C-alpha cells in the first residue's frame, strides 16, 4: 500500500468525508444476541473475550463492542481514523480502551486462533481472508460485510475489483469447519453481502 493511500484516507477522515463508521455496523447490531451469548460463554469460562476489527475506520463497531465488555483491537492504515477512535473511547469513558494498530493490511496479519470475534466491514482484500479465518478461536465468530457487484447500479464509478462476486463471501466459510449463522445479500442496505459464521470446536 502506497503512502499516498494513507494520506488519502487521512484526508477523508480529517475532512469528514470518510465512511460512516462512527456508529457500529448495522448488520452486526442485528446479531447482538449471538455476540452477547459468546461473550457470556467466554466470561463464564474465566477468560476475557477478545475481538478484532480490521480496517476499523472511525471505530463505531470497536466502541460498541468495548462497551459490551469486549477487549478490542482495531487495525487501520489511517492514523487520523485511529486518533478519532482513541478520542471517542476517551469521551465515552471507556476505561478498558482498546489496542489500536496503525498498519497496512497488505502486510499485517493477526496471530492464528487469537480472537473470539473477528470482523471486517466495507474493506475488501481477498488475500487477507485466510488469515482472518485462522485468527478466529475454535467456537468464535467471523463477521464480514462489504459491497457486492450491485453497487455498480448506483455507483457506476466503483472499482469492480473491490466488489464481491455472487456467493464469493459465503464460499469463504462453506466447509465443515464453519457453521453459517447468517449468509445473505442485503440489497436493501446498499448492495452488500454479509456472513456471520462460527468456527467449529
- Which spans of this chain sit near ligand SAM (rule: CB under 6 A)? 1, 5, 9, 19-21, 25, 55-57, 76-78, 81, 104-106, 121-123
Nearer to ligand SAM, 56 or 169 (CB): 56
> Alpha carbon of 200 to those of 50, 131, 151, 175: distances in Å?
17, 16, 33, 10
Q: Determine how β-strand 136-147 pairs with β-strand 178-186.
A: unpaired
Nearer to ligand SAM, 26 or 68 (CB): 26
Smallest gap from residue 98 Cβ to ligand SAM (A): 14
Burial-class residue 95 by CB neighbours within 10 Å (0-12, 13-18, 19+). exposed
C-alpha distance from residue 146 to each of 26, 102, 138, 155, 169 (Å): 12, 21, 24, 14, 9
Closest to ligand SAM by CB, 19 vs 139, is: 19
Cα-based distances in Å from 176 to 170, 171, 180: 13, 12, 10
Min CB(176)–ligand SAM separation in Å: 29
Minimum Å distance from CB 178 to ligand SAM? Answer: 22
Least distance (Å) from ligand SAM to the CB of residue 175? Answer: 25
Q: Which is nearer to ligand SAM, 49 or 57 (CB)?
A: 57
In whole angstroms, give the CA distance from residue 81 to residue 86: 9
CB of 37 to ligand SAM, least distance (A): 23
- Please say which residue, 122 or 186, places its beta carbon nearer to ligand SAM: 122
Helix (H, G, I), strand (E, B) or coil at 28: helix
- The nearest distance, CB 146 to ligand SAM, in angstroms, is 8
Euclidean distance between CA atoms 85 and 74, whole angstroms? 9
User: Angle at the Cα of 22 (from 100 to 164), degrees rounded to 5?
Assistant: 85
Question: Between 42 and 70, whose beta carbon lies closer to ligand SAM?
Answer: 70
Amino acid at each position: 500500500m502506497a503512502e499516498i493511500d494513507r494520506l488519502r484516507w487521512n484526508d477523508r477522515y480529517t475532512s469528514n468525508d470518510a465512511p460512516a463508521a462512527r456508529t457500529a455496523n448495522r448488520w452486526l447490531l442485528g446479531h447482538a444476541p449471538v455476540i452477547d451469548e459468546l461473550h457470556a460463554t467466554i466470561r463464564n469460562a474465566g477468560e476475557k473475550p477478545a475481538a478484532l476489527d480490521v480496517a476499523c475506520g472511525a471505530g463505531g463497531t470497536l466502541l460498541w463492542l468495548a462497551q459490551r465488555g469486549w477487549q478490542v483491537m482495531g487495525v487501520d492504515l489511517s492514523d487520523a481514523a485511529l486518533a478519532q477512535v482513541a478520542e471517542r473511547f476517551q469521551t465515552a469513558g471507556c476505561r478498558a480502551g482498546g489496542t489500536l494498530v496503525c498498519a497496512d493490511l497488505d502486510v499485517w496479519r493477526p496471530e492464528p486462533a487469537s480472537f473470539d470475534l473477528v470482523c471486517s466491514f466495507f474493506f475488501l482484500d481477498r488475500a487477507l481472508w485466510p488469515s482472518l479465518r485462522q485468527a478466529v478461536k475454535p467456537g468464535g465468530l467471523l463477521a464480514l460485510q462489504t459491497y457486492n457487484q450491485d453497487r455498480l447500479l448506483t455507483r457506476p464509478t466503483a472499482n469492480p475489483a473491490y466488489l464481491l462476486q455472487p456467493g464469493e463471501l459465503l464460499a469463504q466459510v462453506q466447509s465443515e469447519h464453519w457453521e453459517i449463522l447468517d449468509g445473505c445479500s442485503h440489497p436493501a442496505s446498499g448492495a452488500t453481502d454479509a456472513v456471520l459464521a462460527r468456527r467449529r470446536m
